[in-house]
Structure 1
């Protein structure tokens, strides 16, 4: 489980013709100008890895770009905070990561709350996924192929290698542009356009010419990653074909993923040909993928009523044992439609078939909380945690049930357990501040608010909160010393920023 601990998850409007052209042009240029398409399928040798020993941009500079990008995403991009979805994504990356030729395996995973197909990889080992990717990837093999492709880009440091061909561009000056492109893609608003306008544009022609080799390299390495990790590499061309079908259906408004990851038939054919060279293996999807997919299908339903109708049609006359994911989706849709009693009934039937499945147990606790039965939900989660120590979704739900049951101090303890595992999930710090407030731990409230402000890039607010906490903490205690140390770090960061 060492690799699991190295992962950190931090889980449209219309526009004028000019803005739409501007956004699409720059999105195609750069989020993944890392990720543009090869001109044609060839058997040329893979490019050598460039710049890894210290070229124009260092790994430390990439990390700084990543921190800036993450701060902007936290402030502006809608994200999925669902612990069940985050836990699945983490488990997927955990399965792939040992097969990735990546020196630093500390990743930050970002879940964007959008029904569009999209994924991206940016400096600082950040991998982002739209919720919509689950909707369009019909199998776990297809979903895994996109993640493997993004990890391949990171492993080859394509961003750094691309900048080394653009020697007139200062690496940190690129952070604003990368941020703007990401925000334009994921928010579909003008938030990102201002960031792009304030930075130096790169040469479109040079960028695309250089990145074609990178995209081909990522396809090939991604196939190797999949095969080595026990996935079926044929999932990659299958996913590409799904994207091309969607592109044809949407006509002149292609999926966002294809504006930054353009596909050609030659690329699909090349990937299919390469995938067929791997041994044929029968790789079964895990049920968990389809449960999470159903959960998001309910989440993205046009209305709660439509979500219920969709899953009622899919489950009509079908025993639970034959289509558990669809029945689970119906339970989630019932919850979204404020019918928790029906959700509870369906979930108990699912648990009768698989008593230990964590996803069913956590969702049943959601249904019980919706019926104001916090004590029952709390008991259910305590029992589940006893069988699955340190499980993140169970611990997260326990924090909710304890708080709902009036046990704020216990809720605070579970949230601190999660924060030790995922210190960059800013929503946990907000919830901790709420729990500490209810537990009347004022020092803890200020401390949690300070950490939240740091993650949001608001160092002034963090400084104020830490001063408040330090004033209220007993001098000479470990808490006082810890606060003083953190205050000193923030003060130094503020002074550096003001220089």
Structure 2
């Protein structure tokens, strides 16, 4: 299927893996005076030149991760689709138990961009572009990229790379930050010029993983895949896809390859190593192909183009591909404003697979689009009874209640989601909206404060909490809860200013 990133309204072109990495680098460089103190706090790692990851403490990496995420939230459009994010979480946490990582709590993000890209930065942040789904034709290929990034995290490659370059890192920080933020926010030539004016090419080269680190990540990543029941042959297959794109694009290589250098010999090495795991490959899950269809519709030039392309898939002999195509057709119909047609396709899919959550949630979308809110509510309530705590179902129930102006009910659902997914800024913003509809002004201030914290605006979070505090009786238990959170924010502000 063809897609046109220039016509996709939600796609901001400027933020790539390089930008995310540069933001992290900037934070690291500004923290240079305390880096040496952290060297003795790190556990030993296999050494590839230097001290083997002794530069950053665990707490420092967490602080870096928080600042990187704040920058990402401000500068890059994200895919907030619960089904897509839930699938990403499922495959990541299928792989994570098989990684040599001590801290397995991750922050996941899907960047709204149709290019191939994925990244992992200090603080256990793992992200992918929506375009990774488009270009990874199998779940094994998609999983190979995730496993590779988890390997970089587990081996602390970013820290070890920075250790090798710590003397040169601070030289270009201010200009790099300015250029990244301009480019990420506007995609303008001004941002590109600002970066170029601060020797960004040398910084990009510095951030690119070394050949030894890439080989180590390939080896560890394939071990992770095999242990998790995925086929390691997906890794050389994905590399070959990237190599083909690189040849087609000439000098404009895929973004992923700018920091993950790839050679034909490396492809050959991974192919040879993958064969050593045996021939018992893993079959793709249907869910991967359903989510892939959602992203293909999202990045299509138009809904009609998506419908035409997906109808061709319906002729595929493979049963999984055919079922995924029928689901994709339903999603495309929804995108085209043909909710009744979407409902017809989804009803047919549910007839043979009545409890698949992706079909049920998408059917609720079709019902909402037809203003059948009661039917959508019953559908999702029954689904939640069978799947307590499910993220996409709970999110859809909140959407139904918001559409029906039931702010208090929507807030109930969203509070559950923010408890379990507290790093998702979109949930806090929707909670603030729901509390507003419910006329719970204290709840609005509290939700907005959490949103502001995630966006890195500590002063605004402080103001929101003070306003919430003023509205609560001095003897009320909630006053103590708000006061404690305000104290947390005050400490953050003091640390920032010191």
| Aligned position for 2:376 | 377
Per-residue deviation, residues 26-60 of structure 1 (Å, max 9, x unmatched): 77996999xxxxxxxxxxxx953788897332222
Residue in structure 1 matched with residue 147 of structure 2 by the alignment: 148
- 2:338 match: 339
Show CA shifts across 1:107-148 (max 9, x none). Answer: 111100011000011111111100000000000000000000
1:393 aligns with 392
**Bigger shift: residues 309-318 or 211-220:** 309-318
**Which piece of structure 1 moves more, 235-244 or 23-32?**
23-32
Question: Cα gap change, 1:170/1:280 in structure 2, threshold over 3 Å: closer, same or farther?
Answer: same
Report if aligned partners of 1:77, 1:183 keep a CA contact under 8 Å in 2. Answer: no
Contact kept? 1:108, 1:127, Cα under 8 Å? yes
Q: Which residue of 1 aligns with 2:101?
A: 102
1:285-434 matches, cutoff 5 A: 285-315=284-314, 323-434=322-433
SS in 2 for 1:127: strand
Distance 2:476 2:51 in 1: 45
Contact 1:450 / 1:463 at 8 angstroms: preserved in 2? Answer: yes
- Inter-partner Cα distance in structure 2 for 1:470 and 1:362: 38
Matches within 5 A, 1:271-286: 271-286=270-285
Tell me the distance in 2 between the aligned counterparts of 1:155 and 1:179: 30
What are the ranges of 5 or more consecutive residues in structure 1 without an aligned counterpart? 1-11, 15-19, 34-45
Relative to structure 1, is the Cα distance of residues 347 and 416 closer, same or farther in structure 2, using a 3 angstrom cutoff? Answer: same
Shift of the 124–292 alpha-carbon distance from structure 1 to 2, 3 Å rule, reads same
Deviation at 1:163, TM superposition (A): 1.8
Relative to structure 1, the CA distance from residue 13 to residue 307 in structure 2 (aligned partners, 3 Å threshold; closer, same or farther) is closer
8 Å contact kept, 2:361–2:380 = yes
Change (3 A) 1:27 1:427: closer
Q: Distance in 2 between matches of 1:367 and 1:251?
A: 42
Contact 2:53 2:157 in 1 (8 A): no
1:136 aligns with 2:122: no
- The match for 1:4 is none
Does the 8 A contact of 1:68 with 1:175 survive in 2? Answer: no
**Residue in 2 aligned with 1:36?**
none
Aligned to 2:80: 81
2:47 maps to 48
TM-score normalised by L of structure 2: 0.86
2:225 is matched with which residue?
226
Per the alignment, residue 164 of structure 1 pairs with 163
Which segment drifts farther, 340-349 or 316-325? Answer: 316-325
Deviates more, 1:47-56 or 1:145-154: 47-56
Following superposition, the deviation at residue 255 of structure 1 comes to: 1.9
Native 8 Å contact 1:69 1:179 kept in 2: no
* Distance change in 2, residues 1:411/1:419 (3 Å): same
SS at match of 1:128: strand
Residues 151, 339 of structure 1: CA spacing in aligned structure 2 closer, same or farther, 3 A cutoff? same
Cα gap change, 1:456/1:24 in structure 2, threshold over 3 Å: closer, same or farther? closer
How far 1:25 moved relative to its partner? Answer: 12
**1:45-90 CA deviation, whole Å, 9 max, x = no partner?**
x953788897332222222221111101000101000000000000
State the alpha-carbon separation in 2 of the partners of residues 139 and 321 from structure 1: 12
Q: CA–CA distance in 1 between the matches of 2:443 and 2:15?
A: 43
CA contact (8 A) 1:29 1:207 kept: no
Do the aligned residues in 1 keep the contact of 2:76 with 2:184 (CA within 8 Å)? Answer: no
- Residue 472 in 1 paired to residue 471 in 2? yes
Shift of 1:261: 2.1
Further displaced range: 292-301 or 209-218: 209-218
Which residue in 2 is equivalent to 1:40? none
Alignment of 1:244-255 (within 5 A): 244-255=243-254
Contact 2:208 2:259 in 1 (8 A): no
Aligned partner of 1:484 in structure 2 is 483
TM-score, normalised via structure 1 length: 0.86
Farther-moved stretch of structure 1 (401-410 vs 234-243): 401-410
Residue aligned with 1:89, SS: helix
8 Å CA contact retained: 2:208, 2:261: no
Is the partner of 1:120 in helix, strand or coil?
A: strand
Structure 2 spans left out of the alignment, 5+ residues:
8-12, 26-44
State the SS of the aligned residue for 1:109: strand
State the 1:490 CA deviation. 1.4
Tell me how far apart the structure 2 counterparts of residues 83 and 416 of structure 1 sit (CA, whole Å): 16
Q: Could you say if the C-alpha distance between residues 316 and 175 of structure 1 is closer, same or farther in structure 2, counting changes exceeding 3 Å?
A: farther
Deviations 1:321-357 (A, max 9, x none): 8711000000000000111010000000000010010
- Find the counterpart in structure 2 of residue 126 from structure 1: 125
Per the alignment, in what secondary structure is the counterpart of residue 117 of structure 1?
coil
Q: In the alignment, which residue of structure 1 is the partner of 2:10? A: none
1-structure distance, mates of 2:480, 2:301: 51
Higher RCO, 1 vs 2 (CA within 8 Å, ≥6 residues apart): 1
Mapped pair 1:61 → 2:68 = no
Corresponding pairs, count: 470
2:361 touches 2:392 (CA, 8 Å); kept in 1?
Answer: yes
Q: After TM superposition, give the deviation of residue 403 of structure 1 in Å.
A: 2.1
Residue 409 of structure 1: how far off its partner (Å): 1.1
Change (3 A) 1:262 1:162: closer
